[in-house]
Structure 1
Amino acid sequence: MILRSLELRHFGKFAERTFEFRPGMNLVVGPNEAGKSTLIEAIPAVLFGARNKERFRPWGRQGSCDAALVLEGKGRTLRIERDMLSDQVVLTERDDHYHRLYQFEGKVSPQGRSSERGEYLEQLSRLLGVADEEIFRASLFFGQGSLEVSGQGGMAAKIKTLLSGFVEVDYDRVLHSLQEDYFAISRQNPWGKDKTRERELDEVRKRLEQLETRWFAEQGSLKDLENLRLELAELNRALESGRVDHEKGERYLAWVRKYYEQEEKAALLRRELQRLEQQGDKVADLQDRRQGIEKELQAAGLPLQLPEKLPHLLKESEEVRQDLVAIQAQAVALREQELELPRPAWKWRLGASLAGLAATGGLVYWQPQGLTWGVGGLAALLCGIWGPCLWQYVQYRKDKADLDEQARVLDESRAEVQSRMAELDEQFESLGMRPSSVERVKMLRNLERHRDLIHQLREVESALGVLEGAAELDAGKEEMTRELAAIEERLEKERPKQRQALLAREDLPEAEEKLRQLGEELRAKESRLLELTRREATLQGQLADLERVEEEGARLREREAFLARRAQALKSAFDLLSEAVDEFRQTYLERFAADIGQALATISSGRYTEVRLEDDFGLLLGTRGGQWQPVEHFSRGTVDMVYFAVRLALTRHLARDRRLPLLLDDPLVNLDGARLAETLRILDKISAEHQVILLAHNERLLRQAARERWNVIPLEQIKTPSTPETQERNEDVRQLYLL
C-alpha cells in the first residue's frame, strides 16, 4: 500500500497545497523552515489526531484547519479526511472501479473511549494493521534527527506483543480473561496484592462461618426461651394492674378538671356581663361621629370608595388644564401682536397719485411739447409715493407670516392638549364619573382631606363593629344570666358531696405529672412486652430453622469445594500460559534481534553483526572482542545506525503481508558520508517493496535522486550555482519533475 497524495488546507504554513507521491523512493527537499516537518507530521495527525491543535493552526487566521491523505493498494483506495480543530473524520474505502465499499463519519478525538473512536481504530487496524500512534511512530515514522525506539513504559510491551503474534492471537487478552475468571471466584491474589471486594468463594466461606456460629448459638436457645416466657408472664401481670390504676386516675383527674372549668366559666360570665353594661353607652357617640364624617365626605365631592387610578387622573387632568391655559394665554398674546402690526397708508397716496395724474394731463393738454417732462415728473412722483408703501407692505406680510406660523404651532399644541383631555375624559367615564373642570380642581384639592376622613371613618366603624357585637351579646344577657345561675346551682350541689375528696387546684399539676409518669411506665412495659414477644417468635423460628441451616451448610460446603477446585485450575492455567507466552515472546525477541543484526551488518559493512534485546527493550551491541555494551556507549552515528536497523526489522515484522510506506523526516543527519551512502542504498533497495518518503534539506541528494530517478518534491524553488555541471544536474532534475 502506498501513500498517493496528501492534501493540506490551512494547515500550518500551507494554505492550499496538495503533494503527490509515487511508488518507490520519494524525496521531499527544502531548506530549514520550509515546512518539511509540518508536511510529514500531517500524516499521523490525520490518522490519529493532534493533541496540540495550536501547532497546526495558521498564524493570524481563524477558521478551519483540514488535511486529507489518499492511500492505494491491492485494488483498494483509502481516503481519510480530518478537521484538526473539531476531530471530525471521514474515512472512505473504494475499489479500483471507485465503488464505495465502506465509509465512516464521526468525531475521533486522540483521547477518549467513545464508540465512534473504537470503530475508527478497528477499521485502521483492518486496513493498515496499525491502530496505535506510538506503534506507528516506533515503526513507520522516522523522526527528525532521531531513530531511537522508546523502550520505557508500555511501548516495550506493545512492541513485544506485536512481535509475538498480536494480530493472530491476543495472548494478553486470554491471560486477562483467565485472571478475570479467577478473581470472579476469589479475592486472594497469588500474583500480588489481594483484592478489596469479596468474591463468590469468599462470600460462601463467610456464610459458612455465619451458619456455624448460628448453629452453636441455637443450642442454648431452649433455655433462653424458657426464661423469656417467665419474664413475659410477670410483665403481663404488672401491665394489667397498672392499666387499672391508670384508668382510675384519669377518671378522677377528669372530674377535677371539669369542676374547676365550671368555676372558671362562671367567673368569666360574671366579668362579661359587667363589661357589656359598661360599653353600652359608647355606641351612640360613635354613631354620631360616623354621620359627621360621612357629611364631610359628601362635601369633598369624591366617591366613598376611591378608585386606585383617580388620584393620578386628577393630577394629570390638572397638568393638562394648566397647559391649556398657558396655550390660550400665548394665543391671546399673538392676536394682540397681529392687531398691533403697522399697515401701509395707501389712501392719501392714491389721492396724491390721482392729483399728479390730473396735473400731468392738464399740462400736456395746454402744452403738448412738455409731454416728456410731464410723464417723467409723474413717474418720479409715483415712485416717490408708492415705493415706501410697497416696502412697508412687504415687511407687514413677513411679520404676519411669522405670527401665523406661531399661531399654527400653538394650534397643534392645543389640539394635542385637547386630545389628552379627551383621553382623560374617557378614563373618567370608565370609572363611572363625568366631572367638570371645576369639579376636578375641587376633587384634587380635597384628595388629602378625603383620605384622612376615610381613615377616621374606618376607625369609627371598627370600633362600632366591636361595640355593636357587644351590644348584640347584650340581647342575650338574660340567657347568659340563666346559664350562670345553672352553673352556680350545679357547683353548689356537687360541692357538699365531694368537698373532702376534691383535690386542691395547686396540687393538680403534680397529680397530672404522676399520672403521666405512670402512663410512660405502662408504654415502656408495653414496648418491652412487644420486644419480648418478637424475641420469642425469633427463638421459635430459629429452632424451627435449625434443620434448614444444616441443609444450607451442606450445600455451601459442596459449592465451596467446587469453587476452590475451579480457582486452582484457573491459577494453574494462567501460570502455565503466562510461562508459555513469555517463552514464546522471548523466542520472537531472539529472532527479532537476529533480524536487527542482519540489517545492521549490511548498514555497517560487517563491522557490527550482533544485537541483543533485554526484557525492557534495551539494546546491547556486540563488539569484535566478544563483549556486550549498551548502545548508548557508542558514537552518535553508530547509535543512529543501530536504531535504523531496529526500525527496519520492526517494520518488516509489523507489515507482514502489507507493504506500508516508510516516512523519514531527515533522520540520517548524524551519519557520515560512507554510512549515509550505504543507508540510502538500503533504502533504495527497500523501496522495491515499501514506498519510502524521505525529507531532507541536503540538496546534494538531488544528484542521486536524478541518477536513481527518484520522485522529487521541492517545497521551495531550488537555487544552485550556474555552472555547466550544475546546469546539467538541474536539467536532469527538471526532467525528473515531468515524470
Structure 2
Amino acid sequence: MKIEELSLAGFGKWQGADFRFAPGLNLFYAPNEAGKSTLLQAIFAALYGMKRDYVKAARYLPVYEKYRPWHQGEYETIVTYRLGDKTYRLHRTLTKEREQARLFLDPEWTELTDVYMEDRRKERNFLEKHLGLTRSLFTDLTWIRREPLEAAEHLMPSFANAEETSPLVHNILAELERELASIGKKERAENTLLGKAASRLASTEQELAHAEEAWRLIRQLTESIQLWEKKREGLEQRRTRLRTQIQKWQKQDQLWQESWQRSYSPINEQDWQWWLERAGSAEERELHEKARSSMMTWDDSVTNRVQEAMPNQVLAEMDADYAHAVSLRKAREQHHVRLAELAVLALSAGTRSQARTQRQGNLAKRKKGAARLWGGAGLFAALGAAGLATGHPALGGSFLGLALLLFALGIFVLRAKGSRPAPAADSEHLQESERLQQEIAAIDAELATLFGRWDVREWDAFLAKREELQKSAQEQRTVQLESDLAKTKREEMLSASWGEAVRAMLKQQKQQREEAESDCLAQLSRIEDELQELREKMARAYGEMAAYEGVSVAKARDEYEVAATALRQLQQRRDALQLARDTLLAAQSEWKRDVSPDVNRTASEVMAQITGGAYHEVRLDPTDGFAVRLLVPTRNLIVSHEQCSTGTADQLYLAQRLALLQHVSKRTEPLPLFLDDHFVHYDDERLKRTLAYIARLAEEHQVFLFTCQEREGRLLAPILSGSDRHKVHQLG
C-alpha cells in the first residue's frame, strides 16, 4: 500500500494544505508545535475516519474534538492511495452531524461508494475491506509507539507450544480446569455455577407461571370491565334521554300553565293560531278548529244582517248633500240681501230732489218711522238666530234676510236726502242686480237637481227625508248594539264551553304527563342503582388488578429467558472451555510451525541489527498481548520491556511492531510505517544502525518519519540525496 497524496480542507491547524508523498522514505523535519503529529493523525483520519473499533454504536475517538479545524472551516480530508495496480481517492467529511465518505477509482474517478456495503454503524470501512485490518489493528502494526498493542486480542489469537517450558501455558490450562470445575458437570449440584443457574431457571419458571396466571385473571377482569363499561355507557345514555324527557315535560308544564290561564281569557284570531300551533293531538286540534268555526260562522251572519239593514253609504251621501244644500241656500240668501241693498239704493236716489224745507218738516216723522222699522228688524233677527240654533237654517235665513231689509229701509227713511247719483253708478247697480239674479237662478236649479235626486220638491221635504234617514240609522245602531250584545253573549257561551273542554283535556294531559314523569323518575332511580352497582364492581376489579400491579409477564418471561440463556451460556461456555482445553495443545504446534517462529525470528533480527548483536534473542507472547521478552546473554536472563532501560524498551517496541508488520504484509501487501519522534532515546550508534535498517525496509515499504531533530536528516542524507523514491518534507 502506498499513500500518494493528502489534501486537508480543515484538520486542526491545517487548512487548505496539500501533501504529496514519495513511495519510499518520507522525512518530515520541523520543530515542535509545527503540526507533525496533527499531520500523522490526519493521515489515519483520512484513511479510517475518527470512530472507535469494536463497538456497536458510532463512538468517536477522544482526539476528535482535539483536531477540529481551528479556522471554523470544513472538517474534511481527501487521500489518494494505491493498492496493487489500483489507485483510489477517498473523500471524507468528519462532521458528526453529517459524516460522509465517498470512494473514487482513479484516473476515471468512477465512484465506488455504493459497491461497499454498510455495517451496523452505517459505516462502509473501505480500508478494512481492502486490507482486512481495522483502524486499531492498522495503527498497532504501522505506528511505532512506546505503548503496548491496543488490539492485540484481535491481531493473532494463537498460543505458544505446550512443549515449551512456558509457565503461562500451564497457567492457562490450570485456569481452564478451574473454570470448568466452577461451572460443574451436573445441573443438580447446588454449589456449582451450573447448579445455581438451573435453580435460578426453576425459580423464574415458577414466577413466570404465577405471572401468567395473574395475567389471565387480569385479562378476565379487563374483559369484565369492558362489558361493564359498555353497560354503564348504555345506562348513562338512557339516563340522559330520561333527563331530557323530564326537562321536556317541565317545559310542557310551563306551557300547560300558560294554556290553563289562557283558557279563561277572551280569544281572538291570533289566540286561535297559538292554540292550533301548540295542539298536542288531533283531538285537541279538532276541538280548537270546531270552536273557531262556530265563532266565525256567528260573526259572519250578524255582520251580514247589519250590513243589509244599515245603509251607511246612503246616510253618508244624505249628510253630504245636506251640507251642500245649506251652503247653496246661504249663498242664495246673501244674494237676496244684496238685491235688497241695491233696491234701497235705487229708492233713495228718487227722493233726493225734494226741497230742503220738506226735509226739515218731516224729520221727526222719519225718525219715528225708522225706529219702528229697526224694531221689526231686531225681531226678525232674533227669530232667524233661533231658527239657525234649532236646526232650521232655511227659516232662520229668511228671517235674517227680512231683518236686513227692514234695517236698510229704516236707514233709508232716516236719511232720505241728498242729490241724485250719477248715471254711471246706476248702471253698475243694474248690472250687479242682473248678475245676482242669474246666480240665484243657478242656485235654485242646482237645489232642484239635488231635491230631485232624493225624490223631493222643496227644502222642508228634503229635511223630512233627512230626519227619516237619521231615524233609520238610529234604529240600525240600536240593532247593531243588540247584535253586539248577542254576539258577546254567544261568544261568552262558546268560550266558556270551549274553555271547559280545553281544561278537561288539559287535566287529562297533566295526569298522563304526571304518570309518565313518575314512571320516568322510577326508571332513573333504578338506573342510578345499577350504575352504583357497576361502579362498585369496577372498583373491586381495579382493586384486584392493582394487587397484581407489580407482576409483569414480560418481565417474568424476560427473567426466565435470561435465566435460560444464562444456563445455556454456561453450558456453551463449559463446552467451549472443554473445546479450548482440548484444542490448546493442537494450536501450540501450529503456532510453532507457522506464526511464532517467523515473528520471533524477525524481531530478533531487528534487535540484533539495532544493538549491533548485543541482543539477538527476542520472543513475542501472543497470550499476553504479544508482550516482548528479551534474553540478556551476559546473564542468560529473560526480561520484559518494563525491566529494560528506556532506550532498550523503545527498541523492543520497534522490533515488535516491525516483526508483526512484516508478517502481516506477507499476507496482504507491504504496509506503510509511521514513526513520530521515536528515536529520542537512541544513542547515535544505535540510531545509525536503526536508520540503515529502516532505509532498507523503505525499498519495499512506504515510511513516514517525523522528527524535530537534525541528526536523523544528517544520517539519512546519503540515502535521501539523488533518489526519486525518497523525499524530505519541510513543515512550519
TM-score, normalising length from structure 1? 0.41
Pick the structure with greater CA Rg: 2
TM-score, normalising length from structure 2? 0.41
